[in-house]
């Protein structure tokens, strides 16, 4: 019986691709997840800034904290979901008093989850705080 030499490299590229493809997919999905997380953080930060500005100029309103919270929710866009123990946009407005020159602080939190191919690597709450002086 004659022995064959195995010198053919046909299929080598296919095997290498099959080994590398899952790692590339995982990296691609991680980049997408971090992009979504960063977008949510920027939206949340912008919403707290808008709420703090509204609170700073609303001292003559009957319920300035409610007006500021509404401004946060209106500015949050896609993040505007009711606050619950497990999720949603939670907003708090705190101040020593609504007199001219006092500080007003608007804080908002929103849940996040880094999920790669069905595995949750990290979850928690994004938090943004903005302080302005009441005008």
- pLDDT per residue of the chain (135 residues) written in tens, 0 to 9: 666 666 667 788 899 999 999 999 999 999 999 999 999 999 999 999 999 999 999 989 999 999 999 999 999 988 878 888 778 999 999 988 889 999 999 999 999 998 888 888 899 999 999 999 998
Q: Identify the pLDDT of residue 5.
A: 65
Domain hosting residue 103, numbered range: 13-133
Q: Is residue 8 part of a domain?
A: no
Residue with token string 């609170």: 55
Q: Can you give the pLDDT at residue 18?
A: 93
Q: How many residues belong to the chain?
A: 135
Residues paired with 33 in a beta bridge: none
CA distance 80 to 119: 26
> Tokens at residue 105, please?
């602080």
In a domain, 114, yes or no: yes
In a domain, 2, yes or no: no
Q: Measured between alpha carbons, how far is 122 from 83 in angstroms, rounded to an integer?
A: 20
**Does some domain include residue 18?**
yes
CA 31, CA 38: separation in Å to the nearest integer?
10
Determine, yes or no, domain membership for 6. Answer: no
Predicted pLDDT at 3: 67
3-class DSSP assignment, residue 100? coil
Q: What total number of domains does the chain contain?
A: 1
Helix (H, G, I), strand (E, B) or coil at 10: coil
In a domain, 47, yes or no: yes
Q: Which residue has the tokens 């490299």?
A: 9
Q: Which pLDDT belongs to residue 125?
A: 92
Is residue 3 one of the residues assigned to a domain? no
Tokens of 124: 């928690």
Residue 119, domain member (yes or no): yes
């Amino acid at each position: 019986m004659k022995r064959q030499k195995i010198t053919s490299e046909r299929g080598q590229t296919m095997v290498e691709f099959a080994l590398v493809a899952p790692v590339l997919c995982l990296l691609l999905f991680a980049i997408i997840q971090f992009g979504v997380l960063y977008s949510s953080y920027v939206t949340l930060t912008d919403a707290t800034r808008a709420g703090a500005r509204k609170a700073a100029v609303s001292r003559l309103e009957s319920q300035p904290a409610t007006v500021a919270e509404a401004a946060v929710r209106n500015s949050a866009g896609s993040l505007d979901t009711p606050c619950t123990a497990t999720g949603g946009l939670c907003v708090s407005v705190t101040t020593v008093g609504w007199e001219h020159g006092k500080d007003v602080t608007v804080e908002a939190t929103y849940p996040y989850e880094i999920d790669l191919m069905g595995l949750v690597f990290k979850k928690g709450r994004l938090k943004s705080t903005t302080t302005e002086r009441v005008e």
